[in-house]
Every structure is written in structure tokens, then in C-alpha cells.
Amino acid sequence: MEKNDISILGAGLIGSLLSIYLKKRGLDVSLYEKREDNRKSQYKEEGRSINMALSDRGWKALEKIGLKDKIMPLAIPMYGRKVHDEHGKTTFMPYGKDNQAIYSISRGRFNRVLIDEAEKEGVKMNFGHRCDYINLHKNEMHFAVGFEKNRVFSNIIIGADGAYSALRMAMQKQGRFNYKQEYISHGYKELTIPATPNGEFAMDPNALHIWPRGKFMLIALPNPDKSFTCTLFLPFEGTKVCFDKINDKQDVIGVFKTYFDDAYQVMPNLAEEFLRNPTSALINIECYPWVQDKALLIGDASHAMVPFYGQGMNCGFEDCFILDSLIDKYGTTAWDLIFAKFQKNRKPDTDAICQLALENFTEMRDAVADPKFIIRKKIEAKLHSLYPKDWIPLYTMVTFSDMPYSEAYAQGKLQESIMDKVMSNPLITQNWDKLDYGDIIDQMDAAKAV
Amino acid sequence: MEKNDISILGAGLIGSLLSIYLKKRGLDVSLYEKREDNRKSQYKEEGRSINMALSDRGWKALEKIGLKDKIMPLAIPMYGRKVHDEHGKTTFMPYGKDNQAIYSISRGRFNRVLIDEAEKEGVKMNFGHRCDYINLHKNEMHFAVGFEKNRVFSNIIIGADGAYSALRMAMQKQGRFNYKQEYISHGYKELTIPATPNGEFAMDPNALHIWPRGKFMLIALPNPDKSFTCTLFLPFEGTKVCFDKINDKQDVIGVFKTYFDDAYQVMPNLAEEFLRNPTSALINIECYPWVQDKALLIGDASHAMVPFYGQGMNCGFEDCFILDSLIDKYGTTAWDLIFAKFQKNRKPDTDAICQLALENFTEMRDAVADPKFIIRKKIEAKLHSLYPKDWIPLYTMVTFSDMPYSEAYAQGKLQESIMDKVMSNPLITQNWDKLDYGDIIDQMDAAKAV
């Protein structure tokens, strides 16, 4: 039986990054990935959502180990949402202040760079290793490697193996493991807007494009090759426009011409892609504890969230950063203490971002199309510019700060209740710019004092 | 490979009863149980909670297939709660009207009778069959039988295999299966009050005894051998009185002398039992869908609840009754339709009883010790006697009726809000008997009309 010090399951974004963090401390780190090493072949990333939106929490985690400058050239800044209405008219809504952006990056390319870095640092890479069984009491893992079995003992096991985590399945069989998996009623399908015939972006590349249509929506994020990756979110069944009712080329074109005509005009391969690509489901996972004996869950394995706040990867990276900060404090041997502190401190924050991600779906597919929503965002932006410390919009707290998610959530709920009152003014559309902004801040202070 | 028409996993109370229901229709029914046939040996039921409280829904399901009269002699009626305070003083609180009772029955004995009946009807019994793998698309199950493997194909698979259901685990690996398992902070341990030296019950046998102590409690249910089975519910850790802090004989006796002295006086084997018996956890499970292809979950497999409303078995029996009523309506071949209707109609009801069971824990361990709670129950009983159709106490709706649980839940919440108002009267203790009862009913009607 092989013996490891630290074994990480999953060489996705979180597992790779964590392996670099731990290896840089001089620890013995082995990384296990069920897929083959895709760096050798042309990576196939068709049909699964491949664009991530890197924001402040993610950058901060990359910066701490000196990777920010290496990743930045791969990323395209998006400074706001560009909302497309049914007639193709667009409205730009900045995400934050002028220089604040989230960054579109290809998951596959990003992952390859992180794996290269991990290998360079001396992490032991094990591709094509499918974890079949874990004995948590004996710290023992069994891997299927082709037709062989490989038994591995490890002092520490960290599961960065995603929403369908093998480590979490093992924990679920233990007593007193709380677990929830919840699929939302919508699925998604990936599509493409290719570069134009003259090799240009078909739309503004520095925005996240949204076609909000109430119960469903289309979004598009830019790629360095001047294409956009689009994701269509529809209910699986039971409504007028749903995946169940789109079964042939005509259905596809019918829906796109009716609801997304300006996008349709720049999607030459739409129907083929639609019919070929899989329809995927969206899951929310919450569980606790994350620690059993010497094993820890991290990233999606412990808190898979729906993609509507663009925080899944950023939150997983922040997991790595926080775990590493605890190692800074307690050293590389006090794993019991570090794991206990990690799960206790971190759990309320991941609960908060899971919840925010669920709630933001309604905002993206519905609210952003409402003229009043735009006014609301303008009032909040103005409050923030007048009182930068007293009123930070929720999106800014989540995306452009490292405030704990749970705190952002609580502040966001307070702001929401105050803004609901502000927006109930029937003349708000006309006189939003002339409001008593100081009074709104006073209300916020009063609410906080309760 | 063996071929079955209908296979039921689990020969517990629900699986056995369901097998009788289906066999009586002339269907080919096979029952698989991972345990050995315990009818041959002396059944060991030590240390796991073995008293069930049969109430109306359970009796109704037994009656439909002619088993009520056979089971009744095994059961001891309990007409109310007998609440023990710290000084051993008891207060009797009836569950309903004079003749209304819930019935204490030994799980093991009850199960043996049902298995005998199933066998008599011609159900094919397969003990010592542990289900290791299920392929839902191929309707194929693999069983470990000793050191052999047994592959079985079945047109229909029904999982009555409890909280740790193998069928549910197979479903969980499919897409879009929503699942939640949640352990409460308390565990339980089983203890005994034996018959007195002269062979009598040590306390009133026709009551469910409760020692409510705020954050924890002890309960006791009578057995035909004149003993009581006691269950101690304590937090696992983190409070003054918790399982973590009871580690030796002295600790046990200390807690019992302080909090349950009258019970302690009649528990000669307390410390030995306490230290020998396991501490078990309490789980709540909710999931959906219950149906995949030709497989259906039933009973605890689909909705394991905490034991505080005494409805787990009754609810599972009602599952059987309702499934059978759908077969009455649609025949023995329309399984797709029957399963679809069953899960759709039944799910809101099992959600409701799971929730009520969680909420009732607070009532049992805390509220029943409050003199105001007794007044509250008296007011509700009087309302019920004056207006038997307009005000049925929640406990009565759940326990002594077959009203859908979800309806009982909704009515109960309305009643609760009205009773909260009634109880806020500062003179309620003195004048509860002279209230304007008609006005309370009017408030209820007004609330319902909203």
C-alpha cells in the first residue's frame, strides 16, 4: 500500500490551487484525478459550461501564491451587464465603479495552467485515478486505475472532488452527517456565438450579456478567440418555453427568433449545437460537518452552488486562502484544530453565498428587465458614491470585496428592506435623483442598531 | 437471473404490510430482507427503540386487510400523557376524548406477526438478502446472500427499506433527485423499568409517561410483560446534561437522581443498561421524486421522521393504504399512473408530518411542563367539545383522524395563531373557563376565509 502525507481528490480548479498552496509549504502532496491528463490531447470542453467569472476573492487567492500576473492575460474584463431586450435594444449596467470588473476565463485553459504550476512545484500527479472507496477510520482510499486497483493510505485526505464528491459519499454513510442536494427547476445548455467572418467579436466583449425573459434567460461571456460562450437557462418542463418542448430544428429557431432575435442573427450553428449539446441540471448542495477524522471537504464538494452569482470558483479559491491562513497561524501539523476552525468559521459564509446564488437567478432572468430595477441600481450606486462606507451595494460586497459572505448577506437584507420602502414612492422614476440620500443612510444606521 | 413481478425491499413493518396488501390481489410478490429470519431465534431487540404507538391511521390500514383484531391483543392503550415533575408529582393530560388512545406495541413482536401473515398469504420470503446494487433502467437488483451473489430482475421494485434505503441510494445517483438528511442535536438511549418484584407494572400502564426537563426528556411506554421501555433523549454535547458528559456509573446515577428521581427508584439496572446500550442518532429525511422508472420508495425510505409525534409507522401504513386505494381505482397494471399519482398526492402530507414531528419535540420536552400549556390544552378540549367540527385539536387531527397531514398542519397553524392571542390574556389562568368560546370560533372562521 502506498503511503502519502497529504492526498487531494480532484485536480479541478480548487484541487490544483490547493495543491500548490500546500506544496509551497514543503509538504508532501499527491493529487488524484479520475479523468486522464487532458493537457496531452486537444481538450474537449464542448457542451459543458466553460467560462468562469473571476472576481476579487479569486484574484486574492491567486495573488497570495504569485499567480495573478500569470493568469491575468488569459482573462477578459467585463465591466457590467449588457441587457438585451426583445427588440435587440441594449442597456449597459455597470457592476461597480469604473475600474471594477469580473473576468471571463476559460475553465479548461485555466485548469491546465494550474495543473502545470502544481507539477512544477513538485505535486505528485495521478490522473486516471477513480476513487471507488474510502475508509475514513483507516485513512485509506481505493482507486480504480484502468483495470488495476490501487490502495493508498494518507495522513490527510482533502476532497476537492466537486458536486459528486467521492469523499462526501463516504462521509454520508457515517452517522450524523447532515446533507441536502436540491435541483432547481431549470436546466442549461451551452451554445456559441462565433467570431464574425472578419474575425471580430460579434458584440461588446467587455460585458456579460444577458437576455432576461422572466422565467428564462440567455447569457453570453467573451472568449479570447473572439467568440462568446452562451448559456441558455430554461425550465425543464411545464411552461410555454421549456427544454421538453424544444425537440427539433424548427422548435429551436422558433424560440430564438421570438425571444433572442439579435443573438440568433449571430449564431450560425445554433440548431445543430442545440440538438447536439447535452441539457444539464443545476444543483445546490449543503452539508455538515465537512470534517471527519483526518478528512476535509472543500469547494463544490462541500457547497456546490447554482452559477447565478458567479461565485462558485471564487468561493472555492477563498476556501483555499482561508485554510492557508489557518495554517499560517497554527502550523503544518495541527490539522485537527485547523480543520475544526475552518469548517466552523466558513460554513455560515458558504451557506450565505449558496442562498444568494439561488436568489440572484430571479434577479438576472427577471428583475434586470424592469426599468424600476435600473433606477434602484442607480440609487444604490449614488448612495455608494456619496457614502462609500455606509452603503456598499450587495453585488459589490460579494464581488469586489473579501467581506465574509454571511456579513454581506445580512447587510444586503437590510438594504433590501430599506430600498423596498424607497422604491414604493410612486414618483420614484421622476425624482430618484433628488431623494434625501442622507435620510436613507440614517434609516440604514437605525436598522443596524436594532 | 431470477425474474419477479413485484419485489419489495425490506421486511420491516411497512414492507411486510405492503406485501400482504399486494399478495391479496393475486400478484406475484417477493420480499427481500437483509437480516436473517429472526422468528427462528430469540429476537434480540435490546438497545434500539422497540415500542411503537399505533394510532388511527395505522389501525385503519390494518383493518382494510382484516388484521386489526389479530393485532389488538398485542397492544396496550395509552389514554394520555402522564407528566412527571422533578418531585415525582404526576399530571395526567388526556390525548383526546375518553375512549381515544394510542396503543403501545412491541416492534419486534408486531413485525413477526406481519411476516407470518405475509408468508401465509404466499409472499415469497427472502431473508439474509443484502441489496448491493440496483440498476434502475434495467430493473435489476444484486443481492449478497452469504458469500453468494444473486441477480434478480423485477417488473416493479418497491423500497420499504427504511432510513438507509438501498433503493434511495440508487436513485440519488440519478439526475435531479432532491434529497435532504438532517440529524437533530439530540440522541437517544433505551432503558428499562422492569415489572415490580410482585410482577406488577411499576406505574400506570395506560399512559405514555414523560419527564420533560426543558432541553431533554425521558419517556416510558408499557409492555405486555409489565415492564416499561424508556427512552432518554439528551443532546449529544454542549450542554450541562448531555451524552458526552455521562461516562461512568456515577455520572448516570447523578443525572437520574437529580432529574428523574421517581423513575430512578424503579430502575434497578439503570447504570449497567446505560453504559451497555448504544446511543443512537435521530434523522429526518425528505426526498423527491419517490419514483424512478418502475421503482417506488415508501415509508421511512422516502420520509424518515423523528419519533416525537409517534407517526412514523402510522404514516408508513397510511402510505400502503393510499397506494392500495389507487390500485382499487386504476387496477394492477397501470403502475406508472399509480406511482405518479401516489407521489404527487402524498408528498405534501409526509412533508407536513416530518415537520410536525420536529416541532413536537419542543412541546414534549419543554411545553408540557408549563402550567399554561395545560390551560391551553383544556381550552382547546373545551372548544372541541362545544364545536366538535369547527375546532379539532391538532393532536386529534393527526392521531385520531385520517385527515391529510398537510391539512391538519395548515389548520394547526391557524389554531396556534388564535390560541397565542387567547393565551396572551394575563388573567387566562383564572378565567379560562369563562371565555367567549363562540368568539374564538368566529376568529377561526374569519382566519380561514382569508
Average pLDDT, rounded, for chain A = 94
Q: Above 50 in pLDDT, residue B164?
A: yes
From B166, which residue of chain A is nearest by alpha-carbon distance?
A173
Segment A441-449 mean pLDDT: 88
Q: Is the peptide bond before B289 cis (omega within 30 degrees of 0)?
A: yes
Please answer yes or no on whether A183 and B178 come within 8 Å at the CB atom: yes
Closest by Cα among B112, B167, B110 to B134: B167
What's the pLDDT score for residue B385? 93
Rounded percentage of chain A residues whose pLDDT exceeds 90: 90
Tell whether B178 lies on the interface with A, counting CB pairs under 8 A.
yes
Q: Above 70 in pLDDT, residue B42?
A: no
Sorted by sequence, the CB contacts under 8 Å of residue A270 that are 6+ apart come out as A191, A252, A253, A256, A264
Indicate left, alpha or beta for A199 from its phi (over 0: left) and psi (-120 to 50: alpha): left
CA distance A288 to chain B (A): 9
Partner residue facing A176 (CB), from B175, B180, B183 = B183
pLDDT digits (tens, 9 = 90+) for B195-216: 999 999 999 999 999 999 999 9
Give chain B positions within 8 Å (CB) of A181. Answer: 172, 177-180
Please answer yes or no on whether B281 and A181 come within 8 Å at the CB atom: no
Tell whether B247 lies on the interface with A, counting CB pairs under 8 A.
no
From A281, which residue of chain B is nearest by alpha-carbon distance?
B176
Please answer yes or no on whether A281 and B177 come within 8 Å at the CB atom: no
Q: Above 90 in pLDDT, residue B47?
A: no
Rounded percentage of chain B residues whose pLDDT exceeds 90: 90
From A187, which residue of chain B is nearest by alpha-carbon distance?
B176
Q: Which of B450 and A317 is assigned the larger pLDDT?
A: A317
What's the pLDDT score for residue B166? 95
What's the pLDDT score for residue B173? 84
DSSP label of B279: P
Name the pLDDT band for B36 (thresholds 50, 70, 90). very high
Give residue for cell 434502475. B136
Strand ranges of the sheet holding B76-78, from the earlier edge strand across to the other edge: B51-54, B102-106, B76-78
Name the pLDDT band for B313 (thresholds 50, 70, 90). very high
Q: Above 50 in pLDDT, residue A10?
A: yes
From A165, which residue of chain B is nearest by alpha-carbon distance?
B173
- The CA distance from A343 to A326, in Å, is 11
Please answer yes or no on whether A180 and B182 come within 8 Å at the CB atom: yes
What's the pLDDT score for residue A6? 98
Kindly state the cell numbers that stand for A283.
444543483
Segment B412-426 mean pLDDT: 94
Name the pLDDT band for A41 (thresholds 50, 70, 90). low
What's the pLDDT score for residue B44? 52
CATH number for the region A2-76+106-181+282-360 comes to: 3.50.50.60
Tell whether A178 lies on the interface with B, counting CB pairs under 8 A.
yes
Partner residue facing A178 (CB), from B175, B176, B182 = B182
Tell whether A176 lies on the interface with B, counting CB pairs under 8 A.
yes
Name the pLDDT band for B364 (thresholds 50, 70, 90). confident
Least confident of A72-81, A358-367, A411-420, B345-354: A358-367
Average pLDDT, rounded, for chain B = 94
Helices (H) and strands (E) in chain A, counts: 16, 18
What's the pLDDT score for residue A50? 75
Give chain A positions within 8 Å (CB) of B178. Answer: 181-183
The residue type at A205: P
Partner residue facing B183 (CB), from A178, A180, A181 = A178
Give chain B positions within 8 Å (CB) of A180. Answer: 179-182
Q: Is the peptide bond before A289 cis (omega within 30 degrees of 0)?
A: yes
Give chain A positions within 8 Å (CB) of B179. Answer: 179-182
Please answer yes or no on whether A177 and B172 come within 8 Å at the CB atom: no
Which of 3.30.420.40, 3.40.190.10, 2.60.34.30, 3.50.50.60 is the CATH number of B2-78+104-181+284-360?
3.50.50.60
Segment B233-254 mean pLDDT: 96
Q: Above 90 in pLDDT, residue A326?
A: yes
Tell whether B176 lies on the interface with A, counting CB pairs under 8 A.
yes
Segment B345-368 mean pLDDT: 93
pLDDT digits (tens, 9 = 90+) for A285-311: 999 999 999 999 999 999 999 999 999
Partner residue facing A183 (CB), from B176, B181, B281 = B176
Mutate to test the interface with A, among B164, B165, B182, B242 (most CBs of A within 10 A): B182
Name the pLDDT band for A1 (thresholds 50, 70, 90). confident
Partner residue facing A181 (CB), from B179, B236, B281 = B179
pLDDT digits (tens, 9 = 90+) for A77-126: 999 999 999 999 999 999 998 889 999 999 999 999 999 999 999 999 99
Name the pLDDT band for B450 (thresholds 50, 70, 90). confident
From A288, which residue of chain B is nearest by alpha-carbon distance?
B182
DSSP label of A86: T
Segment B82-102 mean pLDDT: 94
- The CA distance from B172 to B159, in Å, is 13
pLDDT digits (tens, 9 = 90+) for A356-398: 999 999 888 888 888 899 999 999 999 999 999 999 999 999 9
The residue type at B150: N
DSSP string, A13-52: HHHHHHHHHHHTTT--EEEE-SS--TTSS----TTS--EE
> Which 259-298 residues of chain B touch chain A by CB within 8 A?
281
Q: Above 50 in pLDDT, residue A47?
A: no
Q: How many C-beta atoms surround the C-beta of residue A372 within 10 A?
A: 12
Mutate to test the interface with B, among A173, A181, A306 (most CBs of B within 10 A): A181
Least confident of A40-49, A228-237, A250-259, B72-81: A40-49
CA distance B364 to chain A (A): 23
Q: Above 50 in pLDDT, residue A258?
A: yes
Tell whether A133 lies on the interface with B, counting CB pairs under 8 A.
no
Name the pLDDT band for B174 (thresholds 50, 70, 90). confident
Q: Above 90 in pLDDT, residue B193?
A: yes
- How many CB pairs lie under 8 A apart between chains A and B? 34
CA distance A94 to chain B (A): 35
pLDDT digits (tens, 9 = 90+) for B287-297: 999 999 999 99
What's the pLDDT score for residue A366? 85
Name the pLDDT band for A283 (thresholds 50, 70, 90). very high
Tell whether B179 lies on the interface with A, counting CB pairs under 8 A.
yes
Rounded percentage of chain A residues whose pLDDT exceeds 70: 98
